[in-house]
């Protein structure tokens, strides 16, 4: 069977604006321009010259220390950030689960939040009802369907986020440290769902510090260090090297 | 390879955009008024209170000349309704992205979908406030055929506010004090637009500046459409076209800057 390429990164680099810019005020900008001491802040390089191929049905884990650029890579792969250099090829439908529990609207109810996120993802109205049923059933939040999101516990929100992300039909799913959500019973359920998605041919990209999880779910592994590719290969091999590092 | 865009495809896309905007507007309104005792009726009460206060000040204390009391009430309501719609729409579109930073940095979303939702909610509020106003107008002067022109005018206003709102969204993202500066400027805007007074009552030099403002232009065209005795000039239509061109430039600029906005957020 021909191996179908879903996403390819060729020499991708990502620069983010220097943090100081966020605190920049219009007043200080004008004053600096008048005084002539306006020094443009250099951008921070988050990812540097990454080459990566994601094949349909394969699963990939991304490991590395905090601040190594794992989540930023996920954002590039999810098309949230566009690369500052290099190219990203591939138009597969993608569903990122990047700290999704932070994306909810606290004032809206659980059901309204499903509506809200579905609209933003461009899901047609007709397809939302089955998603609602699936999310409520899987997250076991049926009795909280009409409660405002802000009244839910952190664990409940995480369960909802996982259920939502895995209820949307997509070819690729990106997961950022969220498999260990909720209690052990839910964790088992989440693991089973990931297996089911993999059986259906959904490609999984997992960003994690949990090496056991990476070994259990993925066949390929990318080790990032300071935004650069340190090693890429079979999960077993990369994890062995990572452990001895 | 070239992709042919068919009319059917354009229609389907527009239908999807409209449907998404409507659904998102509903959620936006739900969220906006959820903790308010009056709920959606607050959008009706708010301009009524403003008009009441302004009416008391300008017709009883400052004594604006050239109107009967009833004429002045209609003139004032039209002014308050239009300026509130203008400023609230621009501000809410501009704030929409900083409010939804958590969504924008976690999901691949179309920024225009977010802005369409906010715009839809503002238009709904505007139509709510127009309802009692039209009842007042109906009993005062009946229905004028000029009212038909309100539809294209409101569409033009929406397009203009959409572009300016998105331009301000860039400023809100890049500069921490942009919001405070905008609020300050906008708090003076009702006084620099003929909401309470007639433009002819101003000194000649000031008249030119006030007339050049797109807000004044929209307000004069609105008043004319509801049958107010306004003098229309060709420059007003030029001003209208210029406003729409300016909004298109803002939209283009936003489109170019969006990637940077997401990265700064």
Q: What is the pLDDT of residue B155?
A: 93
Mean pLDDT of B126-131: 87
Using an 8 Å CB-CB cutoff, list chain B residues near A75: 105
Torsion of CA A67, A88, B6, B251, to 10 degrees: 50
Of A141, A150, A146, residue with least CA distance to A107: A150
A174 in contact with B, Cβ within 8 Å: no
Interaxial angle between packed helices B111-141 and B69-99, expressed in degrees from 0 to 180 and rounded to the nearest 10 = 170
Confidence of residue B168 (pLDDT cuts 50, 70, 90): very high
Mean pLDDT of B187-216: 87
Give the Cα separation of B234 and B236 in Å (integer). Answer: 5
- Which residue among A17, A26, A75 sits closest to B177, beta carbon to beta carbon? A26
Q: What is the pLDDT of residue B161?
A: 94
Q: What is the pLDDT of residue A180?
A: 59
Torsion of CA B39, B43, B49, B52, to 10 degrees: -140
Q: What is the pLDDT of residue A91?
A: 67
Q: What is the pLDDT of residue B185?
A: 92
Q: What is the ipTM of this complex?
A: 0.76
Mean pLDDT by 10 residues, chain A (245 residues): 75 79 69 73 82 85 86 86 84 65 80 88 85 89 88 85 84 74 76 85 84 84 87 87 81
B120 in contact with A, Cβ within 8 Å: no
Confidence of residue B140 (pLDDT cuts 50, 70, 90): confident
Name the strand (E) or helix (H) holding B9: helix B7-33
A106 in contact with B, Cβ within 8 Å: no
The overall pTM is greater than 0.80: yes
User: Distance from B93 to chain A by nearest Cα, in Å?
Assistant: 16
Give the Cα separation of B161 and B237 in Å (integer). Answer: 17
Q: What is the pLDDT of residue B3?
A: 58
Greatest CA separation found in chain A? 66
Are A125 and B109 in contact (CB < 8 Å)?
no
Mean pLDDT of B154-178: 90
Q: What is the pLDDT of residue A47?
A: 87
Are B259 and A122 in contact (CB < 8 Å)?
no
pLDDT tens-digit map of B7-59? 888 888 788 888 888 888 888 888 888 777 777 777 778 778 888 888 888 77
Using an 8 Å CB-CB cutoff, list chain A residues near B264: 17, 21-22
Residues A221/A59, Cβ–Cβ less than 8 Å: no
Are B107 and A16 in contact (CB < 8 Å)?
no
Q: How many CB atoms lie under 10 A from the CB of residue A198? A: 17
Residues B173/B97, Cβ–Cβ less than 8 Å: yes
Confidence of residue B82 (pLDDT cuts 50, 70, 90): very high
Tokens (6 digits) for B14: 């527009």
User: Distance from B12 to chain A by nearest Cα, in Å?
Assistant: 12
In total, the C-beta contacts within 8 angstroms joining chain A to chain B are 95
Beta A44-55 vs A5-16: how paired, if at all?
antiparallel
Q: Which 3 state secondary structure label does DSSP give B228?
A: coil
Confidence of residue B218 (pLDDT cuts 50, 70, 90): very high
Are A107 and B113 in contact (CB < 8 Å)?
no
Are A115 and B260 in contact (CB < 8 Å)?
no
Phi-psi region of B109 (alpha: psi -120 to 50; beta: other; left: phi over 0): beta
Residues above pLDDT 70, as percent of chain B: 97
A27 in contact with B, Cβ within 8 Å: yes
Are A24 and B175 in contact (CB < 8 Å)?
yes
Residues above pLDDT 70, as percent of chain A: 87
Q: What is the pLDDT of residue A242?
A: 83
B102 in contact with A, Cβ within 8 Å: yes
**A59-82+92-244, what's its fold?**
Rossmann fold (3.40.50)
Are A80 and B34 in contact (CB < 8 Å)?
no
């Amino acid at each position: 069977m021909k191996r179908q390429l879903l996403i390819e990164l060729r020499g991708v680099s990502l620069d983010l604006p220097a943090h100081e810019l966020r605190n920049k005020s219009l007043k200080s900008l004008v004053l600096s321009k008048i005084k002539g001491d306006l020094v443009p802040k250099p951008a921070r390089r988050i990812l540097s010259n990454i080459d990566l191929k994601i094949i349909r049905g394969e699963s990939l884990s991304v490991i590395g220390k905090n601040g190594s650029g794992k989540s930023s890579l996920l954002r590039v792969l999810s098309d949230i950030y566009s690369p500052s250099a290099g190219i990203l090829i591939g138009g597969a439908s993608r569903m990122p689960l990047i700290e999704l529990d932070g994306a909810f609207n606290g004032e809206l109810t659980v059901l309204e939040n499903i509506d809200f996120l579905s609209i933003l993802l461009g899901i047609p109205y007709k397809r939302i009802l089955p998603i609602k049923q699936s999310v409520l059933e899987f997250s076991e939040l049926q009795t909280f369907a009409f409660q405002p999101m802000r009244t839910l516990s952190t664990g409940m929100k995480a369960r909802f986020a996982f259920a939502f992300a895995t209820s949307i039909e997509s070819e690729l799913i990106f997961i950022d440290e969220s498999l260990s959500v909720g209690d052990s019973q839910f964790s088992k359920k989440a693991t089973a769902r990931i297996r089911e998605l993999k059986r259906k041919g959904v490609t999984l990209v997992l960003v994690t510090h949990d090496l056991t999880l990476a070994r259990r779910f993925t066949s390929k592994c990318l080790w990032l260090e300071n935004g650069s590719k340190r090693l890429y290969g079979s999960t077993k091999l990369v994890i062995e090297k990572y452990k001895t590092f | 390879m070239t992709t042919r865009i068919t009319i059917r495809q354009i229609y389907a896309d527009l239908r999807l955009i409209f449907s998404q905007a409507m659904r998102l507007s509903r959620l936006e309104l739900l969220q906006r008024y959820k903790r308010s005792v009056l709920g959606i009726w607050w959008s009706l009460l708010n301009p009524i209170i403003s008009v009441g206060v302004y009416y008391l000040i300008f017709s009883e204390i400052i004594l604006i000349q050239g109107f009967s009391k009833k004429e002045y009430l209609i003139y004032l309501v039209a002014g308050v309704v239009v300026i509130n719609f203008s400023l609230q729409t621009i501000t809410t579109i501009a704030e929409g992205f900083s409010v939804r930073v958590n969504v924008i940095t976690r999901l691949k979303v179309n920024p225009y979908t977010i802005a369409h939702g906010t715009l839809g909610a503002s238009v709904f509020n505007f139509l709510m406030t127009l309802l009692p106003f039209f009842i007042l107008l109906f009993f005062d002067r009946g229905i004028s055929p000029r009212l038909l022109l309100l539809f294209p005018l409101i569409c033009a206003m929406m397009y203009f506010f959409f572009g300016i709102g998105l331009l301000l969204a860039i400023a809100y993202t890049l500069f921490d004090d942009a919001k405070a500066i905008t609020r300050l400027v906008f708090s003076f805007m009702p006084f620099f637009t003929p909401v309470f007074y007639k433009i002819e009552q101003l000194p000649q030099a000031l008249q030119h500046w006030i007339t050049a403002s797109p807000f004044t232009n929209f307000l004069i065209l609105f008043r004319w459409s509801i049958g107010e005795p306004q003098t229309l000039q060709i420059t007003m239509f030029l001003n209208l076209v210029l406003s729409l061109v300016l909004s298109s430039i803002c939209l283009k600029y936003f489109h170019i800057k969006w990637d940077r906005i997401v990265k700064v957020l």
